Amino acid sequence: MKWRRFNGEAIQLPIKEEVRSAIIREVNNGYRLKVCIGTDSQVKGAETEFATVIVFLREGHGGFMFIHNEKTRDKYSIKERMLVEVAKTIEIAYELCDLFTTYDVDMEVHVDINTNPQFKSNLALREAMGYILGMGFAFKAKPEAFASSSCANRIVN
């Protein structure tokens, strides 16, 4: 998986090592961290592009993020696409969760699914909640899920 910084600079280390380095650096600089992980997608013609972000929030001092983009020609219903977004988010959250426990960093999974039943994405909410909570992760959905609905959204649009 290729990851990069917001400025486009490629991350050379495996993502777990890069996240570990970032946590150690930020904690040594005196920051209390929180990490939010989310994925958004955009259908562009025959392709669907997914963007997954790992957002590091420095309590009271801004933040930064790592980004992974992926394109596919697979076709999805809206519900399937929302659940693929959740699966991509859970995959990276699961890979990194032991680091967050080791370094006492709060982590949330953010899903780009609307809690309002009037929106199409709401079709996937119940399954997404079951999946995320079943994995033991704290999560937020729209409108509180800024990692997916704002940060990742800017990457795919």
Question: So what's the pLDDT on residue 119?
Answer: 84
Question: So what's the pLDDT on residue 114?
Answer: 84
Q: Find out whether 34 and 110 touch, Cβ atoms under 8 Å.
A: no
CATH code assigned at 28: 3.30.420
**pLDDT tens digits along 73-112:** 999 999 999 999 999 999 999 999 999 999 999 999 999 8
Question: So what's the pLDDT on residue 149?
Answer: 82
Q: How many domains does the chain have?
A: 1
- Give the pTM: 0.93
**Residue 7: domain span:** 3-156
Question: So what's the pLDDT on residue 157?
Answer: 67
Q: Find out whether 148 and 156 touch, Cβ atoms under 8 Å.
A: no
Rounded to an integer, what distance in angstroms lies between the CA atom of residue 3 and that of residue 67? 5
Mark 47-71 as b/e (b = at least 16 C-beta within 10 Å): ebbbbbbbbbbeeeeebebbbbeee
pLDDT beneath 70, residues of the chain: 157
